[in-house]
């Protein structure tokens, strides 16, 4: 959990410090790193009911990053709360000692949570799209990659659907951004393809770097 707390602190520094170096942390990349880190912390916590404090702390750390990058967002905070609640419900439903009526109640609540999550995501996507994802030192391709990856991250956040065979992709204006797991690609209108990766900047946050591959 120290990793999550460190990211929260770093993200606050992104907005409070004005860096003059070539490599600058960006709010968008820092938020994207925070979302990725949250998913990693949740996987690390696993499905043990006893690990619920860890899941709560991971959610709190992500909210701190949201506050520092997007700003105060009741919709984004609610999305995080619903994801945590869904996870606890799914874990509890594995308990064979639950009463039948309570099991059905929880399943009905899960359906309602999924519906609320679907309603919240377009609002959160608009909020993310309105934020300045990169600084002046970042290029246009880095900006496209960051916007696209954030859009994909929000789309898959707390999603109940299975990932398809093809890697997830999205359009940012006329450029195609594809999530390949450890890195992403951007294919521009003129046919050029860039490989883009997140990287951390000590004491500042995260940034996006893209390089032409063809």
Query: Are the C-beta atoms of 23 and 201 separated by less than 8 Å?
Result: yes
Tens of each residue's pLDDT in the chain, 214 residues: 445 444 444 444 444 444 444 568 899 999 999 999 999 999 999 888 899 999 999 999 999 999 999 999 999 999 999 999 999 999 999 877 888 999 999 999 999 999 999 999 999 999 999 988 877 667 899 999 999 999 999 999 998 766 668 899 999 999 999 999 999 999 999 999 999 999 988 877 899 999 999 7
Distances (CA, A) of 198 to 31, 65, 121, 204: 11, 16, 23, 13
pLDDT at 163: 66
What region does 188 belong to: left with phi over 0, alpha with psi -120 to 50, or beta? beta
Q: What is the pTM of this model?
A: 0.86
pLDDT at 161: 67
Please, what is the end-to-end C-alpha distance for the chain in angstroms? 40
Using alpha carbons, select from 138, 170, 134, 135 the residue that is nearest to residue 155. Answer: 170
pLDDT at 22: 52
Task: In whole angstroms, give the CA distance from residue 61 to residue 42.
Answer: 12
* Helices (H) then strands (E): counts for the chain: 6, 5
Task: In whole angstroms, give the CA distance from residue 53 to residue 115.
Answer: 26
Counting other chains too, the contacts that 93-101 makes at CB distance below 8 Å and 24 or more residues apart are 94/47
Task: In whole angstroms, give the CA distance from residue 55 to residue 147.
Answer: 27
Query: Are the C-beta atoms of 29 and 208 separated by less than 8 Å?
Result: yes
Query: Are the C-beta atoms of 198 and 32 separated by less than 8 Å?
Result: yes
Distances (CA, A) of 61 to 75, 79, 91, 98: 16, 14, 22, 32
Six token digits for residue 134: 């990169």
pLDDT at 159: 86
Distance of CA 45 to the CA centre of its chain: 17
Residues in CB range of 190: below 8 A, 6 or more apart: none
Query: Are the C-beta atoms of 123 and 75 separated by less than 8 Å?
Result: yes
């Amino acid at each position: 959990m120290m990793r999550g707390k460190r990211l929260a602190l770093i993200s606050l520094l992104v907005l409070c410090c004005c860096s003059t170096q070539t490599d600058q942390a960006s709010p968008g990349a820092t938020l994207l790193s925070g979302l990725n880190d949250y998913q990693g912390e949740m996987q690390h916590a696993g499905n043990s009911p006893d690990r619920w404090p860890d899941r709560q702390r991971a959610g709190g750390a992500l909210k701190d990053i949201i506050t520092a990058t997007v700003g105060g967002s009741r919709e984004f905070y609610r999305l995080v709360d619903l994801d945590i609640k869904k996870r606890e419900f799914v874990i509890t439903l594995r308990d064979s000692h639950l009463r039948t009526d309570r099991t059905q109640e929880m399943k009905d609540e899960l359906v309602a949570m999924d519906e609320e999550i679907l309603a919240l995501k377009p609002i959160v996507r608009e909020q993310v799209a309105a934020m300045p994802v990169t600084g002046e030192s970042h290029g246009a391709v880095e900006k496209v990659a960051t916007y696209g990856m954030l859009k994909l991250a929000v789309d898959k956040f707390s999603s109940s659907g299975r990932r398809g065979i093809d890697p997830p992709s999205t359009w940012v204006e006329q450029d195609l951004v594809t999530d390949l797991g450890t890195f992403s690609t951007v294919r521009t209108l003129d046919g050029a393809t860039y490989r883009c990766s997140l990287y951390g900047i000590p004491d500042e946050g995260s940034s996006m770097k893209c390089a032409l591959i063809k």
